[in-house]
Amino acid sequence: MLEGAQYKIYGEGIAEEGKIYTTNENGILTIDGLYEYVEGKYITGEYTLVEIYAPEGYSVNTTSLKFKAYRDEYGKLQIKILEGADVIRNIDVYNEDEITKKQDMNITNPESKYPVINIGIEDSHIFSLYKKDKDTNKPVAGAKFKITDLDGNYVTGTDGNIIGEWIDTTPEVIAPPEITFSSTSSYKWTQRDDGTWESTGNHNIHSSTSTLTSNFELLQEATLKFDWSVSSESVSYDYVYYTITNTKTNKVLSGTGDTTKIGGTSYGSVYESLRFMEKSVDVPAGTYKIEFVYRKDGSGNTGLDAAFIRNIRLESKEPEKTGYYAITTDENGNITASIGEGLYKAIEVEAPEGYFLPEKEKDRTSYFGIGTSQAATWDWVNSIKGNGWNYINCVAPTKDGGTVAVGKFSNYSDEIVTGANNGIDTNNNGEIDKVSQGENDGLIISYNSSGKCNWVKNFGGTENDSLNKIIQTSDGGFAVVRICFK
């Protein structure tokens, strides 16, 4: 129900310049004395209705609604929409098995001499933001803003869609490098003709290790894959293992799935028939060193007494889809959006070329509210007491389930009323909590969910101050609108 919207109607029996009507507190526009079409008479029964003013926070719907009233063969009044049918809102109609949509239009007592035509029209809430250059005062086009609620969730407009367009920031796939190995330990690995690396350096040498090494850099996450095998004693004695170390953080990545070492003769004792296992490890972006080490103890030699690594490669991973919904300032530096009632944030997420985007989100965030209705009432907010003029101008919910109220209170001492005590009692305990420093002081009162006063603060100097609006911000603080008169 939208009070205060103004419409102008033109047509039969109305002055050429039209006549203006305003919706009442129930959002109803009442227009009496309209004519219906009568065949054979010079009465068309045609009228045009157009909105000329919407209350603050709503957009004017400039679509003209042209309609005609006439009687059918049974004497019932009918309405024919001639133009602008889109301006009529759609409402849900509940049937037994489904919900359908229909235009909100009906006629009360259509057979009577004075029927009533009911047409539902609604305005959209509108949010508008203008960005300009602080030095030149010129509009800034191309700045992108994300619109969210106070908890950072995306906001849907009155059309049911998320405000803004999807900005895809998913990075392109960067091909990972090829890995080149070397063996610089005392006991070396060598490469077979088929490309397989073999720990030949410490073959049949007790208490020895041979190492195969490579360094590589990843600009994106990738998957390291290789096939490995071993022909030796049990893993308790001889084994091959690998380590992947981030060379900047010295953090060692552990393998996924199977253990990072293998040993034993279960893989075979003849090279041509060795059983290889594939290993797969996800590696984040970074700079790394990978090592394969074949370790022998001081006991006997079994099988081929060697480890084998082949098909060592890095494979790209599809980057995680990233992006955000944002609305972009036009050539005039403006963005507009139709949004329902609530408290919101506009966060600048991308600045045009030549402009600086603050690093901290709080430095590029603006808070705003659409509409003033509250789902709940808090009678105890009005329990502040004082001898002067005490006003609560705005009440808002807080994240902890309580409320916060802002307003003003006056300096009202016994100089004006004999025996009066200056100040106000905010928690109704009979004691003065705050005293105005000027004609009026701004006031903030915090209440818990039960209506108990948590704290109270006043703001102002020697003149007339008032706090008119308040919302809680995502960091738990408050954004307040203050008016000061001198």
List average pLDDT for each run of 10 residues in the chain, which is 486 residues long: 80 86 81 82 86 72 86 89 83 76 83 81 65 85 91 83 92 93 93 96 92 95 94 88 93 66 87 92 94 89 92 93 93 82 84 90 78 41 50 74 75 44 58 66 78 79 77 81 64
Fold assignment, 190-316: Jelly Rolls (2.60.120)
Q: Which sequence spans correspond to the domains of the chain?
A: 6-122, 125-170+322-370, 190-316, 379-485
Mind giving me the DSSP string for 23-43? --TTS---------BBTTTTB
Q: Which parts of 275-423 are beta strand (E)?
A: 277-283, 286-295, 306-316, 323-328, 334-338, 342-350, 365-370, 385-386, 390-397, 403-410
The CATH class, in words, for 125-170+322-370 is: mainly beta
Length of the chain counted residue by residue: 486
Q: Which of 6, 112, 14, 128 has its CA nearest to residue 61?
A: 6
> Which three-class secondary structure state does DSSP give residue 448?
coil
pTM for this predicted structure: 0.47
Q: How far apart are CA 134 and CA 66, in angstroms?
A: 46
Task: Outline where 217-356 has alpha helix (H).
Answer: none
